[in-house]
Amino acid sequence: MWYMNEERELLRKSFREYTEKRIRPLARKLEAEEENSREALLEMGKLGMFTMPVPEAAGGTGPDYISWGLLLEELGKEGATFAFLALLRQVFNGPMQAACSKEQIEKYVKPAVNGEFLIGLAANEPAGGNNMFEYQTKAVRDGDDWIINGSKVLVTQASEVDVFLVLALTRDQIDFRTMEGIDIFFVPTSDPGFRAGHIEHKVGLNGSNTGSVYFDNIRVPESDRLPFPMALLMGFGPELSGYAAIALGGAEAMIAKTADYLKNRIQMGVSLWDAHESARHDLAKLQMEVYNYRNSLYGHLANRNCGIHDMLEAGALKASAGPLLEKVAGECMMLMGGTGVIRETGIEQYWRDAKALEIACFSDKTFTGNVAASL
Amino acid sequence: MKIAVSIKSVPDPEYYEKITIDPVSKRLVRDGIPAVINEADLHAIEEALRLKEACGGTITIVSMGPPAAIKQLKEALAMGCDEAYLISDRKVGGADTLATSYTLAKTLETIGNFDVVFTGSESADGATAHVPSQLGVWLKAAHATNVVHVSAEDGIVVTKQFENGRGRYRLSTPCVIGVTAKANEVRFTNVRDIMEVKNKKCVVLSAADLKDLDESRLGLPGSPSQNGEVEAIEANKECIMLEGSENEIAEKIAEILKQTAGKETL
């Protein structure tokens, strides 16, 4: 592969080993919601797996987005949930570089990058993800502090993170041009005023504990308010190409599993693989799509290593991640016949995860709208 | 403490079904089979890392093999070891265990005076388990094999696994310790350690670099044991289902064992 080198080979080998030994047994339990992701995510942090695209000044190992892609691709081979949760670390760590003060980077970003605790984002409200102007969560100034009251919905890892980045309105009137009046605060979930509520039952990404959270008179110091909140909200974009790496890993795993099944499923003394050219070609067509997608993804990540962060490209990759995963899962289930629809076979989970991936971190409709606006 | 670990690059056991034997040279045909660090050697590295954490010092990796084995040395560096030396030379090719251990001992003597040398107790491909003891003899050092635990709290104390139990021994230094795959759980590699590999010393040596070397002891000419006839065995397994009560099945098994004593098949 053109983007591989000695160091990345070593990284991929270690990611693969970690995924097979640690994540494989966990992924099934996570999907059945019999286990949570917290300990494994903290362990990954301690193993340096969230340091890769993070600048050294913020506790990282420098901006190698290709190695970051390799991590998500390998994790994606064992289902989308855990890979998605690992991706979220960078979705926060990336834009926090520009959004936080130096003190906040020392206090929150560095420990999070190195697995000392988990940071999450509590933004969404019933008013709608993109409709921040009608949010009900408020922060009111009280001396040197802020008092936060309100609630959030559809929060990922609602009951598993240590610190939430909480989006709250700090003015009665929001300035539509500058977005002044929308602020973001670090809120520790150990505060007695914090409560995690109902966990939703979703179509996919089960085990990511999506639910509601409540803030009741939580006092936070001014030093825990982000100085540049818009840098966080506008900075997610480039990180969303990580969804493509997850879908790539999932698609590769499903194609390999299906090829193996077809070669070993013997009927009348002949394998399905040898008996049906159409089955071989169906799978080969999927593999060709994977080749193209892989090149597109790693080309984009190579550009990011050169300092080119194309939001539209990242959005296009994110928007096609869910459909690719859904298509490959659907075709592989079909090729496997009855075996394909059995949960234990491990294909149908991707099919369900694909739909959840399409919608998480802005739906494909949003990205399509962005591209339309650029034309 | 100066710690060394002798490792071997072996064919990946996951591909064993694809390995064949060259009918002329009697050697394994490894074309297209990826190489990995021998399983027991990974546990030897883990034991070395634990000893370094307890006592401080450095860990040096040594290995003998083709130039491609440098990849496995770098994997060992990625696990947290400090430097690596590969002895790679046509003169050392085709070595049996005695010539191999001689070459490794000379490599260790050339590089420096080590307090503790770890190895895997046996390799996945040769599986002779000769090298740890032979290394100890060549280096005139205390040595122990089949080691499942190492403690450095009060000198080097090892626990050896026997068929019917375990024994603890205190080793004087320098010493050679052959570690089994049951000794520990190998840690996951840290991204930071991987990114340090490019800054670590990784040297390929030839026979000419080794001090006080008797070249007649190297490679195939220096190997007293030579491969005899080797043939691939075609396994034809058959599963026979026994029916009846537990006692009836037990009697049937006993009868089968009597009938097949000394025979290869039923």
Tokens matching residue A350: 């991707």
Closest CA to A162 of A215, A226, A194, A118: A118
Q: What percent of chain B has pLDDT above 90?
A: 64
The residues with which A325 forms a beta bridge, in sequence order, are none
Give the homologous superfamily in CATH for domain B2-217. HUPs (3.40.50.620)
Are A214 and A336 in the same domain? no
What is the domain-level CATH number for residue A159?
2.40.110.10
Are A216 and A303 in the same domain? no
Are A264 and A359 in the same domain? yes
Q: Do B78 and A6 touch (CB under 8 A)?
A: no
Are A355 and A245 in the same domain? yes
The answer, yes or no, to whether residue B266 has pLDDT greater than 60, is no
Q: B17 — contact with chain A (CB < 8 Å)?
A: no
Distance CA A77, CA B119 (A): 34
Are A365 and A254 in the same domain? yes
The residue assigned the tokens 């401080």 is: B56
- pLDDT tens-place values along chain A, 375 residues long: 899 999 999 999 999 999 999 999 999 888 888 788 999 999 999 999 999 888 888 888 888 999 999 999 999 999 999 999 999 999 888 889 899 999 999 999 999 999 999 999 999 999 887 788 889 999 999 999 999 999 999 999 999 999 999 999 999 888 888 889 999 999 999 999 999 999 888 888 888 889 999 999 999 999 999 999 999 888 888 888 999 999 999 999 999 999 999 999 999 999 999 999 999 999 999 999 999 999 999 999 999 999 998 889 999 999 999 999 999 999 999 999 999 999 889 899 999 999 999 888 888 888 888 889 999
Distance CA A336, CA A270 (A): 16
Domain termination residue (choose one: A227, A246, A269): A227
Are A35 and A153 in the same domain? no
Distance CA B126, CA B137 (A): 20
**Which chain A residues are within 8 Å of B42, Cβ to Cβ?**
none
Q: Do A7 and B197 touch (CB under 8 A)?
A: yes
Distance CA A116, CA B124 (A): 38
The answer, yes or no, to whether residue B178 has pLDDT greater than 90, is yes
The answer, yes or no, to whether residue B25 has pLDDT greater than 80, is no
Q: Which of A21, A43, A48 sits opposite B191 (nearest CB)?
A: A48
Domain count, chain A: 3
Q: Which domain holds residue A173?
A: 119-227
Distance CA A359, CA A129 (A): 11
Specify if A294 maps to a domain. yes
Three-state DSSP class for residue A361: coil
Q: Which of A22, A43, A49 sits opposite B191 (nearest CB)?
A: A49
> Closest Cα of chain A to B192: distance in Å?
6
Specify if A31 maps to a domain. yes
The sheet with strand B2-7 has its strands ordered as B165-171, B156-162, B142-151, B175-179, B116-120, B2-7, B58-64, B83-87, B201-205
Are A101 and A129 in the same domain? no
Domain spans in chain B, listed from the N-terminal domain onward: 2-217
Specify if A183 maps to a domain. yes
Are A190 and A254 in the same domain? no
Distance CA A29, CA A20 (A): 14
Determine phi and psi for A273, rounding to 5 degrees: -60, -45
For chain B, the average pLDDT equals 90
The answer to whether B119 and B132 are in contact (CB under 8 A) is yes
Distance CA A354, CA A202 (A): 12
Closest CA to B225 of B26, B21, B7: B26
pTM confidence score: 0.89
Calculate Rg over the CA atoms of chain A. Answer: 21
Are A35 and A163 in the same domain? no
A 10 A CB-CB count for A46 gives 14
What is the domain-level CATH number for residue A97?
1.10.540.10
Dihedral sign for Cα atoms in the order A68, A317, A299, A309: negative
> Closest Cα of chain A to B59: distance in Å?
19
Distance CA A28, CA A206 (A): 10
Are A48 and A108 in the same domain? yes
Are A210 and A256 in the same domain? no
More confident residue, A252 or B256: A252
Q: B192 — contact with chain A (CB < 8 Å)?
A: yes
More confident residue, A200 or B60: B60
pLDDT of residue B232: 67
Distance CA B193, CA A61 (A): 11
pLDDT of residue B264: 64
Specify if A96 maps to a domain. yes
Tokens matching residue B55: 């006592």
CB pairs under 8 A between A and B: 44
Specify if A355 maps to a domain. yes
Domain termination residue (choose one: A113, A134, A169): A113
Tokens matching residue A308: 């080119």
pLDDT of residue B265: 61
Q: Do B191 and A7 touch (CB under 8 A)?
A: no
Are A194 and A286 in the same domain? no
In chain B, whose CA is at the least distance from the CA of A53? B191
Specify if A1 maps to a domain. no
Specify if A47 maps to a domain. yes
Distance CA B68, CA B189 (A): 21
Which amino acid makes up residue B189? Answer: T
The answer to whether B146 and B121 are in contact (CB under 8 A) is yes
